[in-house]
Structure formats: structure tokens, C-alpha cells
Amino acid sequence: MDFKNKKVLITGASRGIGKATALAFAAKGAQVGINFRNNREAAERTLAELPGEGHRLFQYDVSVKEDTKSLIEDFVQAYGKLDILVNNAGIGAFHAIDEVDFNTWTQAWEDILGTNLTAVANTCYWAVQAMIAQGGGRIVNVSSRGAFRGEPVQPAYGASKAALNSLSQSLAKQLAPHHIYVGVVAPGFTDTDMAAEALTPKERENLLRESPFQRMAKPEEVAHAILFLASEGAEYSSGTIIDVNGASYLR
């Protein structure tokens, strides 16, 4: 896969899967825009690690609708075009219906849908305007195994990712005539801060057992699928959802 001189924007690229994806695109010749929300130190470290030239940081909170417009405008102003958008930024939180009070419950739905679903819809809106004007583009959205198998203690997370799959497939149908291709990667348990923060050692052990590989995904393995969907030749795969879950949940 060759991404020489492709202009790639990755949301939530300071850490985890987004960072691995930024490294993988940069290693194949792309200029990468690293979006992040708060953690400037991590974003600066990621920027310094990227091979090649011309990478930049874009600090915007994609859950704020005005920020999605500014993010895409700034990117296009900096690079002249947007070839590939990876909507990777995402959050999770435990809010089991039989364990939390109503305020915690409603806040979890608002926050998680705001970042994992509405933010992607809004970022896509502005990206698509730019891509139509330039004659095409590619979008890859990062979903989750949780979209398919249920997330008992993080129901808003599972629902946000199921809705993200639907959004992506709707856009794939609507945008193919504009030469804009939309794919989804649905990782299982992946070795990032999100996985580390969310789990007790016991929960972690149980999750590892779900895969016959008896391990988590490496962020690089998720990045590999993202690059495939963004690559030349993957156009007819538009609308697909690639599972990267170590055969832990087969559908």
C-alpha cells in the first residue's frame, strides 16, 4: 500500500490506535494531521515519532460541533486537500443500568454518543463538502466489536458504535457517486490506554480468554485494516466492516 503525498487526517491520534495509524500512514509516505483533544504532550511525542515530513497537530474537541468545522477548514488550508479522514477518537465509560444513578446514566449517554457518533457525523459533514469539491476521498470510521455483541456495562458505548456502523453504511451508499468511499474497522480488545483504564486485572484476564489468540490486538493490527480500507483498490469494499478481534466474536 502506497500513500505517497496523501493528506490524511486522523482524529484522536495522539495515543493508542490513532497513533499507530498515524505511524503506519507516515511510514508509507503520507502527510498526517494528528487531531487530539487535551493531551498536548502525547500529541507532540507522536508528531516527533512520525517518519517523513509535513505532519502537523490539530487540537480540536470533535464533540464540539463548531470544532469539527474548524478542524476540517484548518486541515484543508494547511494541506490544500483532504484525501483520507480516519474518525478514530472515541470514549467509553461504565454505566450499568442496575448500578448507576439517573444523572450518571444520562450523562454517559450524552457524552458517549456526543463523541462516538455525533462528532463523527459532524466531522464527516465538513470533510464530505471538501471531498466533493476536490472530486473524491476516503473515510474510515473506527467502531467496535461491542456494536455487535452487546455491552452490558457500557450500553451507550455499544449503541454508539452500532449507530456508527449504520451511519457509515448510509454514507457509503450516498457518496459512492461522488467517488467517496467509506469503510469501518471494528476492533476487539486492543492494547491502549482505553483498555488499560477501563479494566480491573480480573476483567482483563477474562477478556483475554475470549480470543483463541489469548491476547489483545496490537494497535498496529487495527491500523493495518484501516490502511487497507483507505488504500487504492479498496473502493468496491465501501460500506464494509472489518472485524479485528482475534476471532473472539464471529458474526
Residues in contact with ligand NAP by CB under 6 A are 11-18, 35-39, 42, 61-63, 88-91, 115, 142, 144, 187, 189-190, 192-195
Q: Are 225 and 140 in contact (CB under 8 A)?
A: no
- Which residues lie closer than 8 Å to 118 by C-beta, 6 or more apart? 63, 65
249 catalytic? Reply is no
Instruction: Compute φ and ψ for 61, nearest 5 degrees.
Output: -95, 105
244's CB contacts (< 8 A; 6+ apart) are: 185, 186, 187, 188, 190, 217, 221, 222, 224, 225
Residues in a beta bridge with 241: 184
Q: Which is nearer to ligand NAP, 27 or 194 (CB)?
A: 194
Q: Which residues of 84-103 are buried (b: 16+ CB within 10 A; e: fewer)?
A: bbbbbbbbbbebeeeebeee
* Residue 17 Cβ vs ligand NAP, minimum distance, rounded to whole Å: 4
- Of 149 and 178, nearer to ligand NAP (C-beta) is 149
| Nearest-approach distance from CB 32 to ligand NAP, in angstroms | 13
Question: In the complex, what is the shortest distance from the CB of residue 148 to ligand NAP, in angstroms, rounded to a whole number?
Answer: 11
**Of 238 and 248, which CB lies nearer to ligand NAP in the complex structure?**
248
Nearer to ligand NAP, 18 or 239 (CB): 18
Q: Which of 60, 157, 236, 249 is catalytic?
A: 157
Least separation in angstroms between CB 7 and ligand NAP: 19
Catalytic residue annotation: 157
